[in-house]
Structures are given as C-alpha cells and as structure tokens.
C-alpha cells in the first residue's frame, strides 16, 4: 500500500508499507518494513530518497498524484542502496530536469545503477546548504552509517532531519508517528542489526546532531520520531559508547627484514590509541612460556610472520602448535605478515588459528556480517607497508578495537 501524508508546510511523506516478511541483510524482517520517501513541494520541488526498487512504478504513479514529476528540480539521495534509491529506476526519465544531490562517492554508484551518465549531479559535502526555494537543506556526510557513501539531510526551516537508514525501525506501521507507541525494542533491534557494526562512526553523527535543533526525525524505514527525539538520539550514543573495562591484546611475530615487525607496531600504536593494553613479542627472542601466559590473559591475539621459501620463519610454529592445546574460547584472533611473492606463511598461520577455538577474523566473515569492505583479515602486506597499507593495517586494528570495546 502506498500512502502520503503532510508533515509540515510543503513537506509530504510518501511511503510504501511492505507488510511481507522481507528478506534483508540475511535477516527476515518478520514485522515487515516501510520505505519512506519525502517530497518538499517548494518553489524548487525536491524529493528526498525514494522507495525499494520493486515498488518503483507504484511510487512514481503515487508521486504523480502530488506533483508532476517533470517539475522536480532536485532528487536528494542520502544512501544508494536500492531500498531507497530504487524509485529512481522509474522516476529518472519522468523527471528529466532533476539534479541528483548526493556525496561524491554516490555519483558513480548511481550512474552505474540507473544509467544516469548524462544526468546532472550536485555533489555535496559536510555543512553544504541548498536553497530549494522557500526552504534550505543542510547536508552532513555520515560514512559507513551504514555504507560508505551515506549522508543525512536537514531541513533548517522545518527542523526536520532526514537521516535515511539511521534512526530507522523495521516495522510495517499504519500509524506514521511514534506518539502512541513504545518503539524502543524495534529501534534497538534495528540499531544492533544495521548500525552497531559501524559503531565507531556514530561519534561523528552525534557531533553533527549536537549542532542541529531536530524536532522531527524522518527516517526511511518505520516510525517518524517526534516524541522523545532526544531519548532516541541518546540511545545511539549510549549503544555505541566504549566499554570501560580494560582489554588486552597480544601480538606475536617473526620477521626477516623488519617489515612484519613494522606491521606489528602499527597495530600496537593504533590499539593503544583506544586505551587497549598491548604486549608485542618477537617469537625468536621472547620466552615462549611468557608469550603463552600473555595469550592466556589477552582478549585478542594477532600472529604474524614473514614468508620465506613459502613457509613460516623462525620459532613461531612452536608457539602456534602450543596454542592448539590451550582453551582460548572467546578470544579474537587474526593473522598478518609481510611477503614478497605469495605470502604462504600468513595462510599457514590462519590455518593454525582455525584449529583453535578462537574467533578468527576473516574478510569474508566481516563482509557477510557488516558489509564493510575496508577491513581485511588476514592482513597481507607486500614488502614494507606504504601509506595506503598503513591505513589498511590501522583500519583492521581499529575494527578489532571496536569489537573489544563494544558494550553490547
Ligand atoms: Fe534501508 Fe541501507 O538500506
């Protein structure tokens, strides 16, 4: 069912209520969901987000009851995932003069997804404003909340925030606002499933929220929040807060020309920025019993080796064999190393780690559970880490730090 409702002067919600059990991010949304789009019927009519791809035609037909699509001047795309950008498939040719407003990263995605190579784009950055003829929109980039290209849009005159996925709930509601319902459980469930894997980026969002006077949060799924706005914003801050408890990481390595040692120390520095206690051991120099005692106390273990003759080097294998005999349940583990040709040692370490009962990090698992593609495990660095690789190592260390410091 497609509906619309006026939220403020010239501001309309146009929503598709999807009351099926919707497959989504390897979940099944048992309560369904809604896809909320918004029309600001100002002198320069502006659409903020659309609906799921499969409802694109229905959306455009419904939108046409409110406005001739030809009149639309701007289509703001806060997030390119097709459950919000999907309406563009049917709308783009019906709104030939519309300019697409989005982050720089979203431009190529939209061009590819909807064949918009010949269309006009307006790239916006943090703090940019756009006069839409009677109202002013302000934009804030919110990378990784929950994909890299995302942003939020704020209508200054209306004090309405359009944050797309952020502050959403997955529920096929008939009532638009949260006035009469306790939506807390659904709100928390959505946060945990979609936002929490990216919790380290929530801090940036919270800083932006402090600068905005928000009277209504108009997200792209579920309830529009006008009751207890502050409470729901604060829930994001609380759930993404770091835990106070002390965490420990042990890093063990062997190295030929100090490149694997460099990786170990880049990780150490990054982890220490998060107030995590880090012990670093060269397995060729340290006492192995001391290393194993430290592992037993650690919350996470990184193990790395350079590769020589397609194998591990030095005394690391002795440590790895002993790890298999210890109960390491609940600890996070990851492999790393510098290599020149194929990096077999890193994969051998990974195999050893998988034989323990630790939670071994892999790129595949991270993509499947979070959608993040900037974090890679095992960490494989060819020769000495260059600037891009240093960032890659730091991002991976930060990811583990986040896992350790998560309060939920
Ligand atoms: Fe609701 Fe990221 O899509």
- Domain spans of the chain? 2-239, 248-405
Sign of CA dihedral 13, 69, 49, 211: negative
Structure confidence at residue 184 as a pLDDT band (50, 70, 90): very high
The confidence score (pLDDT) of residue 2 equals: 85
First to last CA, the chain: 36
Report the separation in Å between the CA atom of 197 and the middle of ligand 1, taken as the mean of its atom positions: 14
248-405 carries CATH number 3.40.50.360: yes
Tokens of 190: 């959505």
Q: How far is the CA of 181 from the centre of ligand 1 (A)?
A: 23
- Scan for tokens 């756009």, then name that residue: 130
218 three-class SS? coil
Alpha helix ranges (H) inside 173-312: 184-190, 202-210, 229-239, 259-273, 288-297
Name the CA dihedral angle for 86, 91, 97, 100, rounded to a multiple of 10 degrees.
Answer: -10
Does ligand 1 lie within 6 Å of residue 376's CB atom? no
Dihedral angle sign, alpha carbons of residues 291, 295, 298, 301: positive
The finding on whether 52 has its CB within 6 A of some atom of ligand 1 is no
What pTM did the predictor assign? 0.87
Ligand 1 binding pocket includes 18 (Cβ within 6 Å): no
pLDDT tens by residue, 119-161 = 999 999 999 999 999 999 999 999 999 999 999 999 999 999 9
Spacing of C-alpha 316 from chain mean position: 35
Contact status, residue 249 vs residue 302, Cβ threshold 8 Å:
yes
Per-residue pLDDT tens digits for 246-290 = 899 999 999 999 999 999 999 999 999 999 999 999 999 999 999
Distance (Å) from CA 79 to ligand 1 centroid? 7
- Ligand 1 center–CA 34 separation, angstroms: 11
Cα separation, 44 vs 42, in Å, equals 5
For ligand 1, the distance from its centroid to the CA atom of residue 351, given in whole angstroms, is 35
198 close to ligand 1 (CB < 6 Angstrom): no
The neighbouring-strand residues paired with 125 are none
Cα distance between residue 254 and residue 168, in whole Å: 47
Ligand 1 atom closest to Cα of residue 150: 2
In the structure, what pLDDT confidence band is assigned to residue 407 with cuts at 50, 70 and 90? low
DSSP helix/strand/coil, 185: helix
Peptide bond into 55 cis (omega under 30): no
Residue at token pair 């106070």? 244
CATH architecture type of domain 2-239: 4-Layer Sandwich (3.60)
């Amino acid at each position: 069912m497609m509906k619309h409702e006026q939220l403020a002067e010239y501001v309309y919600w146009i929503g598709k209520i999807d009351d099926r059990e919707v497959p989504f991010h390897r979940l099944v949304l048992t309560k369904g969901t809604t896809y909320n789009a918004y029309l600001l019927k100002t002198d320069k009519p502006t659409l903020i987000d659309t609906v799921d791809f499969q409802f694109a035609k229905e959306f455009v037909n419904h939108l046409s009851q409110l406005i001739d699509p030809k009149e639309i001047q701007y289509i703001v795309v806060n997030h390119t995932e097709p459950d919000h950008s999907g309406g563009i498939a049917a709308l783009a040719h019906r709104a030939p003069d519309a300019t697409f407003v989005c982050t720089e990263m979203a431009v190529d995605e939209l061009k590819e997804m909807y064949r918009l190579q010949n269309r006009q784009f307006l790239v916006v950055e943090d703090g940019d404003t756009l006069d839409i003829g009677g109202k002013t929109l302000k934009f804030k980039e919110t990378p990784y909340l929950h994909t890299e290209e995302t942003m939020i849009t704020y209508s200054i005159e209306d004090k309405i925030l359009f944050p797309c996925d952020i502050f959403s709930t997955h529920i096929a509601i008939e009532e638009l606002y949260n006035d009469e319902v306790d939506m807390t459980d659904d709100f928390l469930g959505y946060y945990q499933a979609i936002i929490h894997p990216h919790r380290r980026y929530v801090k940036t969002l919270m800083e932006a929220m402090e600068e905005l006077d928000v009277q209504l949060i108009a997200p792209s799924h579920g309830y529009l929040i006008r009751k207890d706005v502050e409470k729901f914003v604060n829930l994001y801050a609380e759930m993404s807060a770091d835990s106070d408890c002390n965490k420990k990481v042990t890093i063990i390595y062997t190295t030929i020309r100090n490149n694997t040692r460099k990786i170990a120390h880049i990780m150490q520095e990054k982890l220490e920025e998060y107030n995590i206690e880090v012990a670093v051991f060269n397995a060729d120099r340290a006492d192995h019993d001391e290393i194993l005692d430290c592992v037993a106390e650690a919350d996470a273990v990184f193990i790395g080796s350079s590769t020589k003759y397609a194998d591990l080097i030095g005394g690391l294998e002795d440590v790895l064999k002993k790890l298999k005999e210890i109960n390491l349940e609940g600890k996070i583990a990851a492999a790393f190393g510098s290599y020149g040709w194929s990096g077999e040692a890193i994969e051998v370490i990974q195999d050893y780690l998988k034989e323990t009962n630790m939670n071994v990090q892999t790129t595949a698992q991270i993509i499947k559970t979070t959608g993040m593609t900037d974090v890679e495990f095992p960490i494989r660095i060819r020769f000495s880490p260059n600037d891009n690789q240093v960032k890659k190592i730091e991002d991976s260390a930060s990811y583990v730090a986040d896992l350790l410091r998560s309060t939920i």
